[in-house]
Amino acid sequence: MTILSVRPVILCGGSGTRLWPLSRAGFPKQFLVLSGTDSLFQQALLRINGLVADDISLGQALIVTNEEHRFLALDQLRDIKQNSATLLLEPAGRNTAPALALAALEASQNGQDPILVVSPADQTVSDMAAFTTALRQSIRAAAGGAIVVLGITPDHPETGYGYIQHKEIVGGQGEYKVAQFVEKPDAETAISYLESGNFFWNSGMFVLRASIWLRALKYFRPDIADLTQAAWSGRTIDPPFVRPEKSLFAAIPADSIDYAVMEKCPGSTFPVHMVPLDAGWSDLGAWNAVWQVGGQDAKGNVTQGDTLLVDTSNTLVHASNRLVSAVGVSNLVIVETADAVLVADRNQSQNVKKIVGLLETQKRAELGLHRKVHRPWGWYDSIDEAERFKVKRIMVKPGASLSLQKHHHRAEHWIVVKGTAEVTCGNKVILLTENQSTYIPLGEVHRLANPGNIPLEIIEVQSGSYLGEDDILRFEDTYGRS
């Protein structure tokens, strides 16, 4: 029996703007827990981990993500005890074709040519048995040199997805040759696609050998292939992080897997096959999709968090921080976070991107970060602020520390409310425990660390003429931040 070597590739870029205010540039939708206990990113990886079979072995996962999200991804990998993944860090978003090229180059080292199972990090699947069966079939088809795309069996005329048209059956049972890829259709065309029976939604999941992708990219888009290879050749390695050369990577033309290669493959020397996937799939592209896959009650409502609903139907209510109540409404999306609330017609939820556009135009902070901001050492929550003062709640993980730093425009008071704090202030190092406090004068070099075994929590009160996050001069940092 031939054992097929497989490398999972999770494409973990993107911003998920249509799921604002929960999804933001600093904490995009793939890292959100929208159902169950695992984030969408964690679910994507755990699904692929289930593909092991007598003839399929699974190698180290390859995670392609933004440099800014590296510690989010690393923390979530640790949460599911996935400690052996390699994280390929994009210094800038260049879409999915260069991202997959990075993964293929990493997987091809030492003369290897594994089969790549490529999945976006922001999808859900409800039928794991059907998913596993379709992916194993795709892996076996890709072993022979085919590029395999997973096609979703459509159940309604959808204008928000690209489509795959298939023709005759090839290979194993239920495996089809792809006739063409088509763009998102209008409503009338989508109806005709559904009625024809030979159009499927494009899932964005692909299975192919690493060498096949590199050859196809070189054939159809040599500019992307050559620049990605150059950026890869200049990479730096800081396990588990691999960083392509920044300036060369930024020069790569941005293009997707579909546009750069897949749409050009039918009729070429690169065979493209489709395996149907009927497994309760959703790409959660908007809040209406979250409602559709959620656990609806008898009145069609989907709720999360502290909610109270009266005479309400077919509504999604997501409460993050406080009680959210609704009376006498239907077909709405209501999403509450600490600093923003969204209320939308559920059928108009695709247009949340227009709100994001306004936030960007107005340069509002709610576009990029939540009030609670995650950092590699823990998190901080900006509780209150006004002229010349700001109050934060700060959590530091056991064994972690902030950078050695100073501020030019503010002083800080620290009050320990949980755990033990090791405080460096100038030439002094002191230990503080619950209910003890200290003062960091303006301009003094300082550091906060947690030497204990439980999370450290403090209340920080800042005072000064300028309280922006960019008023920081770092001298030492465990996490390589400048």
Q: How far apart are CA 211 and CA 217, in angstroms?
A: 10
Give the residue-averaged pLDDT of 128-140.
95
Judged against a pLDDT cut of 90, whether residue 58 lies above it is answered with yes
Give the residue-averaged pLDDT of 49-58.
92
Judged against a pLDDT cut of 90, whether residue 480 lies above it is answered with no
Q: Which domains does the chain have, with CATH numbers?
A: 4-277 (3.90.550.10), 287-360 (no CATH), 372-476 (2.60.120.10)
Q: What is the mean pLDDT of the chain?
A: 94
pLDDT tens-digit profile of 62-97?
999 999 999 999 999 999 999 889 999 999 999 999
Q: What angle do CA 11, 216, 242 make, to 5 degrees?
A: 40
> Among 217, 221, 102, 204, which Cα is nearest to 160's?
204
> Which SS3 state, helix, strand or coil, does residue 392 take?
strand
Give the residue-averaged pLDDT of 4-29.
92
Judged against a pLDDT cut of 80, whether residue 36 lies above it is answered with no
Residue type for 224, please? I
Asked whether the beta carbons of 34 and 284 are under 8 A apart, the reply is yes
* Overall residue count recorded for the chain in this entry: 482
> Among 280, 88, 120, which Cα is nearest to 205's?
120
Q: How far apart are CA 17 and CA 167, in angstroms?
A: 35
Judged against a pLDDT cut of 90, whether residue 172 lies above it is answered with no
Q: How far apart are CA 258 and CA 421, in angstroms?
A: 51
pLDDT tens-digit profile of 220-274?
999 999 999 999 999 999 999 999 999 999 999 999 999 999 999 998 899 999 9
pLDDT number for residue 168: 79
What is the pTM assigned to this prediction? 0.91
Asked whether the beta carbons of 208 and 142 are under 8 A apart, the reply is yes
pLDDT number for residue 173: 66
For residue 233, give Cα distances in angstroms to 242, 280, 375: 11, 41, 30
Asked whether the beta carbons of 423 and 429 are under 8 A apart, the reply is yes
Q: What angle do CA 428, 432, 438 make, to 5 degrees?
A: 65
Give the residue-averaged pLDDT of 420-430.
97
Asked whether the beta carbons of 171 and 207 are under 8 A apart, the reply is no
Give the residue-averaged pLDDT of 118-126.
95
pLDDT number for residue 431: 98
